[in-house]
Amino acid sequence: MNFIQDISTVAIALNIFFKHSIAGNERVINQPPLDTIISSLGLEKWIRQGGLEGPELQKFLENYLRLHTRLHHPGYLGHQCAPPHYSASFAAMINSFTNNVASVYEMGPASAAIEFFLINWMLEYVGWPKMPMKLDERNSFDYGGGAFINGGSIANLTALAVARSKVFPNIWKKGHPSHLALILPSECHYSLTKAAGVLGFGSESLYFTDTDEKGAIVPDRLPFLMKKIKSEGEHPMALVANACSTSVGVYDPLDEIADFCEQNHLWMHVDGAHGASALLSEKHSQKLKGISRADSLVWDAHKLLQTPSVCAALLVKNHQHLDAGLHVGTKASYLFHEKDQPGFDSLAWTLETTKPGLGEKLFFVLGALGEKGLVDYIDSRYEITSMAYNYLMSQPDFECPVMPQSNILCFKYMASDELQLTLRKRLLEIGEFYLTSTLFKGSRYLRLVFMSTETSLSHVKRLVESIREIAKELK
Ligand SMILES: Cc1ncc(COP(=O)(O)O)c(C=O)c1O
H helices present in 199-352, as ranges: 222-231, 254-263, 301-304, 319-325
What count of other Cβ atoms lies within 10 Å of the Cβ of residue 455? 27
Question: Counting Cβ atoms within 10 Å, is residue 50 exposed (0-12), middle (13-18) or buried (19+)?
Answer: exposed
Which structural domains are found in the chain, ordered by start? Answer: 3-67 (no CATH), 94-363 (3.40.640.10), 370-474 (3.90.1150.10)
What number does the ligand 1 atom closest to the CA of 153 have?
11
| C-alpha span between 185 and 303 (Å, rounded) | 21
Q: Is the CB of 153 under 6 A from ligand 1?
A: yes
**Looking at residue 135, what is its pLDDT?**
67
Question: Residue 274: CB within 6 Å of ligand 1?
Answer: yes
Query: Which amino acid, 211?
Result: T
Residue 336's pLDDT is what? 83
Query: Ligand 1 in contact with 80 (CB < 6 A)?
Result: yes
Angle 429-435-440 (CA atoms, 0-180°, nearest 5)? 125
d(CA 475, CA 470): 9
Any ligand 1 atom below 6 A from CB of 72: no
For residue 360 and ligand 1, the question of a CB distance below 6 A is answered with: no
Q: Which of 431, 437, 371 is nearest to 408 (CA)?
A: 437
d(CA 4, CA 256): 57
Within 394-442, where are the H helices?
A: 417-430
Ligand 1 atom, smallest distance to 154 CA: 11
pLDDT of residue 373: 98
pTM of the model: 0.97
Phi and psi (nearest 5°) for 53? -155, 170
Residue whose Cα lies nearest atom 5 of ligand 1: it is 152
- Residue owning the nearest CA to atom 8 of ligand 1: 152
| 465 touches 457 (CB < 8 A) | no
Q: Is 109 exposed, middle or buried (0-12, 13-18, 19+ CB in 10 A)?
A: middle
User: Ligand 1 pocket: which of 186, 188, 246 to mutate (most atoms <8 Å of CB)?
Assistant: 246
**Cis check: omega of the bond before 310, within 30 degrees of 0:** yes
Q: What is the mean pLDDT of each run of 10 residues along the chain (475 residues)?
A: 94 98 96 97 98 97 97 98 97 97 96 98 97 77 94 98 95 93 97 98 97 98 98 97 98 98 98 98 98 98 98 97 87 84 92 96 98 98 98 97 98 92 97 98 97 98 98 93
Tell me which residue of 38, 57, 16, 81 sits closest to 306, measured CA to CA. Answer: 81
Can you tell me the distance from the alpha carbon of 459 to that of 28, in angstroms, rounded to the nearest whole number? 13
> Cβ(195) to ligand 1 under 6 A?
no
Using a 6 Å cutoff on CB, does residue 312 contact ligand 1? yes
Strand residues in 232-289 grouped as ranges (E): 235-242, 267-271
235-242 and 312-316: which strand pairing? unpaired
Please report the DSSP string for 128-165 in residue order. Answer: -PPPPSSGGGTTSS---EEEEES-HHHHHHHHHHHHHH
- Check residue 469 and give its pLDDT: 97
Q: How far is the CA of 323 from the centre of ligand 1 (A)?
A: 25
Whether omega for the bond prior to residue 410 falls within 30 degrees of 0, making it cis, is no
| C-alpha–C-alpha distance, residues 371 and 353, integer Å | 30
How far is it, in rounded angstroms, from Cα 375 to Cα 196? 34
